[in-house]
Structure 1
């Protein structure tokens, strides 16, 4: 088992003991986040899911301002239907689309109270903050690392 995959398996075993069962694989484009997640799905039998699957018709039909409030329940139904020990969420960039009116990190944290989630975070950890990789945006989006477990990939 590759070292990174083994490290993720060991870390998720620790994370799943907490209230929020969320682990972020952090790295820029081409860092191997998706590759590691596919390996985990194959080796561990965990459920690999592209976040576009969370963008259900039910969610998209809501008025934009209602999406943030309803997204946890709607996404929770999608994840619950998977009946997975661990859910590997890839492609979370779709959650950051301005038209969605979501706070993706808050959504992931809420979902992780019910499901054990490993999510691919496009960006880096810098200065004690989680930074989202942005293209064409002057100011990067930053989030406090408050009790969030991360593994950085180069």
Structure 2
């Protein structure tokens, strides 16, 4: 599985959107696979919840949505452009108070560089779903603009 993901990560450079989403049930090894990929490329996966949470804590509530996108871009720009950006723990981006589209934010990062991200929800048919419909953080997106790597 790691070999397939590594090959896909190298091949995706030529696509318009260079986004790979690791999708699978909870506890299926997505984070572990991302870490192994990071070891292959000699880069550390980025814990979005931890890093972004720390930075957003000092940001006024009404500016957090805009700041989340800016901070993620800053982080992506710090990485060497030839290296893929490895993202884990995206749950914070689904916070309703941020009023952002998490998938769109990650897709935009993937226009300029390869991004491999652990999707915190599931794939239902051709839809990427986060949380149950009754949950305030529920989201449902088309998988367009992303390569889904199922685990």
**TM bracket (short chain):** 0.7 to 0.9
C-alpha RMSD over aligned residues: 2.4
Gapped runs of 5+ residues in structure 1? Answer: none
The answer on whether the counterparts of 1:5 and 1:39 sit within 8 Å (CA) in structure 2 is yes
Distance 1:50 1:147 in 2: 22
The one of 9, 26, 30 equivalent to 1:12 is: 9
Q: Call closer, same or farther: CA 1:54–1:79 in 2, change over 3 Å.
A: farther
Deviation track 1:22-53 (CA, whole Å, cap 9, x = no partner) reads 10001121010000011111122133110031
Distance 1:118 1:124 in 2: 16
**TM-score scaled by length of structure 2:** 0.83
The one of 22, 25, 44 equivalent to 1:25 is: 22
The one of 89, 94, 105 equivalent to 1:91 is: 89
Aligned length: 149
The 4+ residue runs of structure 1 with deviation greater than 6 A are none
Alignment of structure 1 residues 55-94 onto 2, 5 Å: 55=53, 57=55, 59-83=56-80, 85-94=83-92
The one of 109, 116, 120 equivalent to 2:114 is: 116
**TM-score scaled by length of structure 1:** 0.82
